[in-house]
Amino acid sequence: MDDIKEEKIMGLDEVEQQNTIIDDIDAENVNLIFLAIDCSGSMYNYTDDMKKSLNDFKDSLINSKEKDEILVSRVNFNDKIDVKGYKKIDDFDVQYDANDQTRLYDVIIEGKEKLTEYMNYLKNEGMRTKAVFAIFTDGEDVCSRNNLSDAKQAINELNQKEITTAMISFGSESKNIGKSLNIKNILSVGSSSSELRKAFNCLSKSVIESSKSVVPDDDDFFNM
């Protein structure tokens, strides 16, 4: 019995270490934003545009009245996955490099687990939470260990928990992947620098608008 308690405490400690602790949250309502960003080699030509777009995204959230209520997990994925904890927008990383292939399904599986884990932790501490699970990608999965069915199941579980699921499809190759995954909010933009900036401008506005309400966005997340 003591071993079970110790395992639970160790698991709780890990959640606290990876994410923002309760004492550092300055709001009663917390809006968790999971943002998975495709860093595969096909995005290489847009490296500078991505850095600019990420900077603009960060500035928009910092300058919003909802800043203190927003915690963001930026997750890079190519043939590797780097799932970060949920941090204040001041700590949002705006660097960007692109190389290798795409593990889209794997980042969905791992991201869903980390999001629901932290969300449950906050709720158990008496916090009111809502969440957005967003993905930016320009292509389909190439090298995941999990398959489409696994990723779709994870998205369905998020939808059932009233967590807003969203995808920015950058270019034609990723256009249908969001539908096949049953993602409720899909923003399709062309593969150009101006469309990239437009997409992240829309994302920042949508995150801010979403944070103003305690009601889940369902299929009405993107604000154009």
Is residue 79 in a domain? yes
Domain count of the fold of the chain: 1
C-alpha 165/C-alpha 168 separation (Å) is 11
Residue 16 lies in a domain: no
Quick one: which of 48, 52, 106, 119 has its CA closest to 76?
106
- Residue 4 maps to a domain: no
The answer to whether residue 18 is domain-embedded is no
Mean pLDDT of 174-190: 95
Please list the residues that pair with 150 across neighbouring strands: none
Examine residue 94 and state whether it is found in any structural domain, yes or no. yes
What pLDDT is recorded for position 203? 97
In this structure, is residue 27 part of a structural domain? no
Model pTM score: 0.92
Domain that holds residue 122: 32-211
pLDDT tens readout for residues 120-150: 999 999 999 999 999 999 999 999 999 999 9
pLDDT bin (cut points 50, 70, 90) of residue 191 is very high
CATH number assigned to the domain comprising residue 69: 3.40.50.410
38-51 pLDDT tens trace: 999 999 999 999 99
The answer to whether 180 and 160 are in contact (CB under 8 A) is no
Q: What confidence tens digit (pLDDT) does each residue in 51-67 have? A: 999 999 999 999 999 99
The reply to whether 9 falls in a domain is no
Q: Is 220 among the domain residues?
A: no
Q: How far is CA 72 from the centre of its chain?
A: 7
